[in-house]
Structure 1
Amino acid sequence: MNIIDNFDTLHRAATRKAMQRLIPLMCAIYFMSFLDRTNVALAKAQLAIDVGISAAAYGLGSGIFFIGYALLEVPSNLAAHRIGPRRWIARIAVTWGILSTAMMLVQGEWSFYVLRVLLGIAEAGLFPALMYMVTLWFAPNDKPVVVGWIYIAPALALMLGSPLGGALMQMNGLGGLHGWQWMFMIEGIPSVLVGILLFFKMPERPRDARWLSAEEAQALESRAAADAQGHPELTSSDWMAALKRPTTVLMGLIYFLNQVAFVGLYFFAPSMIQQMHVKSPLLVGVLAASVGLGFLLGVLILPRIHRRYGNDCAFLGMLTVGLIAGACAFIATSSPAARMVLLAVTAFFAGGVLPSYWAIAMKRLHGIQAAAGLAFINTIGLIGGFVGPYLFGLAETVTGRSDSGFYIILVASLLGLLLVPLFAKAIRRETEASSPLGNGSAAGMQS
């Protein structure tokens, strides 16, 4: 066995160790964040009854979470780069856990808005900080699978959180509290505990991991530090350049449209199910888990297909077409059983594509550029997370039907599909500019 084979074997072994140690911690923290940001969907009907929050106000409050989140994404992730992602992620988890618990104190529309904004500010930077850690630990070919594993966490949060939240809502009246107050309190406190656990258990970089040998740590860092073209990690003077790259901007716009569709879907799925004449909060929660199931299948299956597929942009286009087909089928049918299946199908494509977005972005962003660029992409997407629920709420207010939001999903998906060829063209130009020969190739479309 030659030196290269030895190094590859060492790197594969170190990668398996890193996945086994880091992915459970990343999943735990992201699971809690997603649970705490989306449990408000189950409280929608009771918030209207108990504190007078209308459908439009609910949509605004659900989406306004993403405004504070978005405004602080880039500064937050630059802080993660400066002081270390472990300490920064732990700080995020503790503060958002406290604020998530405080959601039980909502008294009306304005307190609802304020707490949702504060919750978004507290959580700002979590996901790009996790993605930044991926860039520090894993080689380009491993990133789609690692990100896919991380996305299992929000999928499970939608699957398990819906029935769990529905069960907690059944505690209505116990101790003089509403069911939604019990839900916010019981689901918020564990986030603080997970943040404390992560502070003590998650190493910053491979060189800090006691469970890796020096050779294994070096193997991981050497593969993670260079991009597919072998460029070294960039310095802090280059981070602004990441925000100006057409590929970064276009990836952000595609992600924006995805979030308009997907965030609107999971915030309004319980309402859609209630309008299918399902009255029990517990049963609504169980049926709403179909969105989480579709999401889970998507992040388990699609990244593995992507890993073997040569053309990134064609792959994104195919998944977007699948989302459009699912939305059209939902609109065309009135059967409750068929619609339940199509909720899962829509989530399969809308959620399952997310690891591919990040894997494609991380191929082109490294070091301080990764910290800034990934946060910038997430910022644009988070604005979509605000716009989506707001538009869904307006659509329900105008039509009286929560499922009218599927027209928003359809329009957003069609616009996203139109951006994919522009993204492919930007990749080709970037590849040509970085090539020593100045000669683009098909690799630009495929990388």
Structure 2
Amino acid sequence: MDIPAPGGRQTSAVEQSTIRKISLRIVPFVALMFFINFLDRTAIGFAAPNGLEADLALSAAQFGFASGVFFIGYILLEVPSNLALHRFGARVWLARIMITWGVVSLLFTWVQNYPQLVGLRFLLGVAEAGFFPGAILFLSMWVPARHRGKMLALFYLAQPLTNVIGSPLAGWLMTHDAALGLEGWRFMFLCVSVPAIVVGVLTLFVLKDKPSQVSWLTAEEKTWLETELAAENAGKAGSDHAKGGLKIAFGSGRVWMLAFVYFGFIYGLYALSFFLPTIIDGFQEQFGTTFDLFEKGLVTAIPYVPAAIVLWFWSRDASRRGLRTWHIVIPAVAGGVSIPVALFMGSPAATIAVVAVTACAIFAALPNFWTVPTRFLTGAAAAAGVALINTLGNLAGFAAPYVTGAVSDWTGGYQAPMFIVGFFMLLSAVLMAVLARRGRADDPTAGPAQEEHVPAEVRA
């Protein structure tokens, strides 16, 4: 299979074989890690309307706070965790993250009250801190920039597929009430936690930190890959030391602007992930439509099927054309407009159809967005910059479920909270357009040697 390259440049045989091997040997395994990560993180959304809220006597605001407090611990340790990954190596650090989050997730099986739920959600965030930016950074260490969009699309497919596969799976697991003497939602937590521990251990044996450490690349392929990556890194802002990397990342105007853009997408993503099962549960009262647990899981999965398809083809278009501002702005606008409209539809089918537009928009933008930071940062600066963007963006992970739950309690429905979601996604579109127009003028990390590495999104 030919690997497309910008400007119609023909790729060599060694380039094609190297990228093909990476796409088969590394990307699927890291995507599996991401699949398990997102499933464990959002399992509370499946459990809430199916026993957890009733058994722990939670209000919508309490559920929203418990869902969102995860991101407080996550945010506090995000940058330090990614710098530790840079120091100790991705293999060991990503394995450590997976094993610890699997153990904490397992403890949800026996949670008894609201304070325990909040405490465990906080600890889960602490345990998971650094995984996502670490995975992005790890892939950037293996994949040259011109192929990174396609690899990140393959990686990001795990997130919508978590809902396509995980939602029906969670629903099916929760039908096993009294299995092992546990309520259905507790049994579900037990079953989705164990894979994180198992795959975490496997990570120590499957992943390697550098191309030179693997046996499945030939000497010629290793030389090509290491030369290509070294040439790219030579033109980026970077540092091999944590202090220097932090200074570059925290002083970059582009990094801060990208963090605010990411905030809007994450606000939409987690409002959808945590509350869509609850909204579907409300179809009975709103439309007189009832679903059993497994059917609720299937309905929850519906929007993510087209989202996975759109993600793939939108990312392929970005790789073929070269990433443009509109590859991120158009999805942000589509998501911002569609999400508040969804709850004014007159039937469950129409509601889910509009929600599917929102899901398509979010997942079309995210993998393309994440090709940007590692195009102008390297080394510890990339570790700190990616973590900073993810940290500030994930403030929305706390804000979205808490604000959504609190406003829902206050207004008696989810229409007003979804308008707030729409506002933040539209704000992301505006900020991305502003960033493209401003280009590099206000970026203190910019330098003449880096100009050829600046992607289209951050040029006028």
Q: Same fold (TM over 0.5)?
A: yes
| Code of the aligned partner of 1:275 | G
Equivalent in the alignment of 2:220? 215
| Match status 1:434 vs 2:412 | no
TM (norm. structure 1) is 0.93
Mapped contact 1:431–1:444 kept (Cα < 8 A): no
| Partner SS, residue 137 of structure 1 | coil
Identity of aligned residues (%): 32
> Aligned residues, how many?
443
Equivalent residues of 1:428, 1:444 under 8 A apart:
no
CA–CA distance in 1 between the matches of 2:379 and 2:39?
A: 30
Measured on the aligned residues, the alpha-carbon RMSD in Å equals: 2.5
Q: Does 1:26 align with 2:33?
A: no
Classify 1:445/1:379 alpha carbon distance in 2 versus 1 (closer, same or farther; 3 Å): closer
The change in CA–CA distance for 1:225 and 1:383 in structure 2 (over 3 A counts) is: farther
Residues 19 and 146 of structure 1 are in contact (CA less than 8 Å); yes or no, is this contact kept in structure 2? yes
The answer to whether the 8 Å contact 1:136/1:225 transfers is no
Do 1:39 and 1:184's aligned partners in 2 also have CA atoms closer than 8 Å?
yes
Aligned pairs for 1:406-425 within 5 A? 406-425=418-437
Instruction: Measure, in 1, the Cα distance between the counterparts of 2:416 and 2:202.
Output: 42
Q: Deviations over 1:2-58 (max 9, x none)?
A: xxx998331221111111100111011111111111111111121121121221111
Q: Distance in 1 between matches of 2:87 and 2:34?
A: 21
Task: Find the aligned partners of 1:97 and 1:436 in 2 and give their Cα distance.
Answer: 44
2:34/2:132 contact within 8 Å kept? yes
In structure 2, the partner of 1:276 is 283
Report the counterpart of residue 6 of structure 2 in structure 1.
Answer: none
Alpha-carbon distance change, 182 to 220 in structure 1, aligned in 2, over 3 angstroms: same
- SS of the residue 1:223 aligns to: helix
Q: Is residue 385 of structure 1 aligned with residue 392 of structure 2?
A: no
User: C-alpha deviations, 1:342-382, integer Å up to 9, x for none?
Assistant: 11110110122110110012211212211111111110111
Structure-2 residue corresponding to 1:293:
305
Query: Which residue of the other structure, out of 200, 203, 221, is the alignment partner of 2:208?
Result: 203
- The normalised TM-score by structure 2 is 0.90
Label 1:111 to 1:160 Cα distance change in 2 as closer, same or farther (>3 A).
same
Helix, strand or coil at the partner of 2:216? coil
1:238 to 244, 263, 266: 244
What amino acid sits opposite 1:135 in the alignment?
Answer: S
Q: Is 1:336 the equivalent of 2:348? A: yes
Q: Distance in 1 between matches of 2:448 and 2:379?
A: 20
1:325 correspondence with 2:337: yes
1:254 is the counterpart of 2:261: yes
Given that residues 325 and 456 in structure 2 are in contact (C-alpha distance below 8 angstroms), is that contact kept between their aligned partners in structure 1? no
- Note if contact 1:272-1:403 (Cα within 8 Å) is conserved in structure 2: no
Aligned residue identity for 1:258: F
Counterpart residue identity of residue 28, structure 2: P
Distance 1:443 1:420, change over 3 A: closer
3-state SS of 2:394 partner: helix
Match of 1:121 in 2: 126
Q: Identify the match of residue 313 of structure 1 among 325, 334, 337.
A: 325
Unpaired runs of 5+ residues, structure 2, are 1-8, 285-289
Cα drift, residue 301 of structure 1: 1.8
Aligned partner of 1:218: which letter? T
From 13, 17, 21, the counterpart of 1:17: 21
What one-letter code is carried by the residue in structure 2 that aligns with 1:401? G
Partner Cα separation in structure 2 for residue 276 and residue 209 of structure 1: 52
Structure 1 residue runs without a partner (length 5+): none
Q: Which moved more, 1:298-307 or 1:252-261?
A: 298-307
Distance 1:232 1:101 in 2: 41
2:266 is aligned with what amino acid?
Q
Go from structure 1 to structure 2 and tell me whether the alpha carbon gap of 1:213 and 1:342 turns closer, same or farther (over 3 Å shift): same
Partner of 2:165: 160
Q: One-letter code of the match for 2:57? A: G
Q: Contact between 1:297 and 1:352, CA under 8 Å: does it hold in 2?
A: no
User: Once the 2 structures are TM-superposed, how far is the Cα of residue 326 of structure 1 from its aligned partner?
Assistant: 2.0
2:4 aligns with none
Change (3 A) 1:154 1:6: closer
C-alpha distance in 2 between matches for 1:336 and 1:313: 34
1:71 equivalenced with 2:76 (yes/no) = yes
Give SS of 1:359's match: coil
Q: What is residue 58 of structure 1 aligned with on the other side?
A: 63
Structure 2 CA distance for aligned equivalents of residues 215 and 186 of structure 1 = 44
Stretch of structure 1 that moved more, 209-218 or 99-108: 209-218
Question: Displacement of 1:393 after TM fit?
Answer: 0.7
1:189-212 CA-to-partner distances (Å, cap 9, x unmatched) read 111001111111111111111111
The answer to whether the aligner puts 1:39 opposite 2:50 as a matched pair is no
Residues 92 and 115 of structure 1: CA distance in aligned 2, closer, same or farther (over 3 Å): same
Shift of the 6–89 alpha-carbon distance from structure 1 to 2, 3 Å rule, reads same
